[in-house]
Amino acid sequence: MKTSTNGLMAIASHEGIVLSRYFDSVGVATIGIGHTKAAGNPDPATFAGSLMIGEAFGLLRHDIMKYEADVNRAVKVPLAQHEFDALVSFHYNTGQIGKASFVKRLNAGDRAGAIKGIMDWRKPPEIIPRRAAERDLFKTGVYPAPFATVYPADKNGRVQWGQGKRVDLRNSLGGPLPVQPIPPPTAAPPAPVVPVPAPVVVPEPVKKPWWKGWI
């Protein structure tokens, strides 16, 4: 299985986007939506330009393939698209799809236990909203709103967290088109109604009453 466009937008909404080079919390040069040198070119350490949002998603589509393969390998039961997308998001964040006990429950047919077990991965506390969103996506198929925050970074690679701007990812990516209803078959137009002229009634001449002659 592959991550859907809705799934990628969900990951971006959790991760945030930085279009120029920055250094993450442990000092690793990064760009876009979590792209590092370990994922391949370009090397953020030597990247001096700025990406477009579509380019950042192009990197994400490439980088996510490793995580998709891991999920496909770890999960032994059929998944709906939204379930797969939720697990890829979880793995992209934690890297632990192969060790998570809730996956064992899922493979054993205990979907309710698996859904509950997703919330075992709740450290640090700041990650709880993301984990809850992944759980809800897995359970209900409802994706988060397709909005992400784009943050600027200064020339030294420090992210300016207070200057982030929310963007609608569909404007940059062209999100999935809604299913259009099939119009009902067009009925043949009714035959035109030809008006029938009313008959012409010629009034009879008014006869003089017989008694008029006596007056």
User: Catalytic site residues?
Assistant: 15, 24
Q: What angle do CA 36, 118, 138 make, to 5 degrees?
A: 85
Rounded distance, CA 172 to CA 149, Å?
13
Tell me which residue of 33, 39, 36, 30 sits closest to 7, measured CA to CA. 33
SS3 category, 74: helix
Report CA-CA distances (Å) from 204 to 197, 201, 207. Answer: 21, 9, 9
All residues at 6 or more sequence positions from 39 whose CB lies less than 8 Å from its CB, including other chains: 59, 62, 63, 66
Rounded distance, CA 35 to CA 120, Å?
26
Tell me which residue of 178, 170, 179, 177 sits closest to 57, measured CA to CA. 170
